[in-house]
Amino acid sequence: MNTTSSSRRIGVALIGAGMIAQTHIEALSAAKSGLQLKAILSRTPDMARYLNAYYDGPSPVFTSDLAQITNDPTIDFVIVATPPSVRIDLITTLAQAGKHILLEKPVARTLAEAKEVVQICQNAGVTLGVLFQFRKRAPSLMAHRILAKGRLGRLGHVEISVPLWRSQAYYDELGRGTYARDGGGVLLTQAIHTLDLALSFTGPVASVQAMTATTPLHDMEAEDFAAAGLRFANGAVGSLTASTATYPHGLESLTLHYEHGSMRIDKDRLDLHWRNGAVEHFPPPGYAKPEKHEWHQAVIEDFAKAIATGTPPMVSGTAALGVHHLIDAIETSSRLGQVVTCPV
């Protein structure tokens, strides 16, 4: 397993030059943890070279040869931002080479495959982290701080809303919205972020009763709509609605109703309504909204710290299995038309 020295920068490679790659490059460029982007792997390196314009540092190597990453001792961890369909062999090779791995969500296409990914990394002794950047949004962090004070009391009711829009052109990209490439539709590709954030507040779900469907608004294989009733292990109940057929495009939100107050969280703000009528808002007026890459930057810096100190990252591969169990239960409940119990 690679170890890092305090005398040199932590070397990073990026695998995948798709639509999220620019965000990763900007995040690495802005990182303040002694990180250096060493290589970008793409099937078409020449077409990926435009990414160099977004990196404030020495030009990385552009390559299609995985061995240039696995054989480079200065590369400590790899950000994997490929479609889930091409990950198992890739992760196996990286892990066996001693490279720590930070994965774009989802971990894999299915729960069984996600468990395999986690086991591969455990067997190789490398750290596996998952990019659930919603946890690093300022309203999410503030909500956790408020909750830690213990004044809200017992959780009773949870509302998870993911009202998004994707045009047909989005699904016309080769393989998008298919089980073979993506593993599913709105649940694994979009709602997984808000579901993971919800679980960070609620703890595990005990049982699910759900329906998923493909609306007439999209020509695609997997679901673009999901609705579920949730019963949590702590006794609370809740609901999920998620769609990429909601026009106009809306904001994902999480609303948590506690004994003494309710919190509504989205990407820009936190509204706290106390039962005595008091209302608090975060952030205050005049707050500067962060750049898109800042949430990725925070997760990447957290992961770099984890491998440098030997501590778990914000969301480890094992921890990420929680949201994969939930999505699997939602899909199973919809398929069977019955309540499905989740492991807790």
Q: Which CATH class for the 10-134+295-314 domain? A: alpha beta
- pLDDT of 328 strictly over 90: yes
Contact call for residues 76 and 129 (beta carbons, < 8 A): no
Angle at 56 between CA 311 and CA 309, to 5 degrees: 10
Q: Which of 149-158, 244-253, 278-287 has the lowest mean pLDDT?
A: 278-287
Contact call for residues 213 and 242 (beta carbons, < 8 A): no
Domain locations along the chain = 10-134+295-314, 135-290+323-341
Query: Over the stretch 125-147, which tens digit does the pLDDT of each residue have?
Result: 999 999 999 999 999 999 999 99
* Separation of alpha carbons 253 and 73, rounded Å: 42
**The predicted structure's pLDDT at residue 201:** 98
Tokens 């949004």 belong to 137
The CATH architecture to which 135-290+323-341 belongs is 2-Layer Sandwich (3.30)
* Separation of alpha carbons 151 and 14, rounded Å: 43
- pLDDT of 293 strictly over 80: yes
**The predicted structure's pLDDT at residue 287:** 74
- pLDDT of 268 strictly over 50: yes
Query: Over the stretch 41-87, which tens digit does the pLDDT of each residue have?
Result: 999 999 999 999 999 999 999 999 999 999 999 999 999 999 999 99
